[in-house]
């Protein structure tokens, strides 16, 4: 409760951020100026500009936007596409594997909120949360290198789409739980984590596409 109270206070009293700050866009539509953030499993820690930090469910944050992009474009943070600062990493990988860049961005958002150093309790690492075995299979030598991670994760996503006849919900379920689980059940496996994951990516993908129109 204390953490939530601190967050609400910050949303009310946080001054305009510096050009080097990041902006966390909250699900409420409000914004929070932060120095940096860290994602760990389903929690995100926001390090507030001016001091202090707060750890909240990652689902309460809908985007991270560098303040310099806001200043350069003149757009409100809530109107800027998903993870705009990662566009130069996402675009080539998406083109290479015939994926919608918005889909790649949505998977990155669900997996790591754009934290390139994210490491899960299960051992998944980086922007697209690759497990060590998957990283090796995708030819990734340095899983925490953002470019390699996004390339490898995009290749894996492409493979999951191809294996499941282009059905996005099944491909996302396979990305999370593995192809064998999807084949076993013939649909999205009845695992709460996987069902929530598919819904989370689909929501982020829909938002990303709306912003891109």
- Whether 193 is catalytic is no
Q: Rounded CA gap, 73 and 202, in Å? A: 27
Q: Rounded CA gap, 80 and 69, in Å? A: 9
Residue 95: C-alpha distances to residues 57, 101, 121, 182, 194 (Å): 32, 8, 31, 26, 27
Give SS3 for 31: strand
Q: Which pair of structure tokens corresponds to residue 141?
A: 């030598």
Residue in 42, 79, 111, 193 annotated catalytic: 111
**Please, which residues have CB within 8 angstroms of residue 32's CB and are 6 or more apart in sequence?**
7, 10, 11, 14, 23, 24, 26, 46, 48
Taking the chain, what is the end-to-end CA distance rounded to the nearest angstrom?
A: 38
Report which of 12, 25, 56, 62 is spatially closest to residue 38, judged by C-alpha positions. 56
Residue 108: C-alpha distances to residues 7, 48, 151 (Å): 24, 23, 12
Q: Active-site positions?
A: 111
């Amino acid at each position: 409760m204390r953490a939530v109270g601190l967050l609400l206070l910050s949303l009310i009293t946080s001054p305009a951020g510096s050009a080097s700050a990041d902006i966390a866009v909250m699900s409420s539509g409000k914004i929070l100026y932060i120095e940096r953030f860290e994602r760990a499993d389903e929690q995100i820690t926001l390090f507030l500009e001016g001091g202090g930090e707060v750890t909240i469910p990652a689902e309460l944050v809908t985007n991270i936007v560098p303040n310099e992009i806001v200043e350069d474009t003149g757009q409100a943070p809530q109107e800027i596409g998903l993870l705009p600062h990662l566009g130069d990493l996402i675009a080539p990988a998406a083109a290479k594997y015939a994926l919608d860049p918005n889909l790649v961005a949505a998977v990155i958002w669900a997996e790591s909120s754009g934290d390139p150093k994210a490491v899960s309790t299960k051992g998944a690492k980086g922007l697209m949360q690759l497990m060590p075995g998957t990283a090796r299979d995708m030819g990734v030598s340095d899983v925490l290198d953002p470019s390699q991670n996004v390339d490898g994760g995009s290749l894996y996503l492409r493979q999951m789409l191809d294996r499941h006849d282009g059905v996005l919900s099944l491909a996302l379920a396979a990305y999370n739980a593995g192809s064998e689980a999807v084949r076993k059940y013939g649909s999205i496996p009845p695992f709460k984590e996987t069902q929530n994951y598919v819904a989370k990516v689909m929501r982020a993908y829909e938002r990303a596409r709306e912003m891109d129109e």
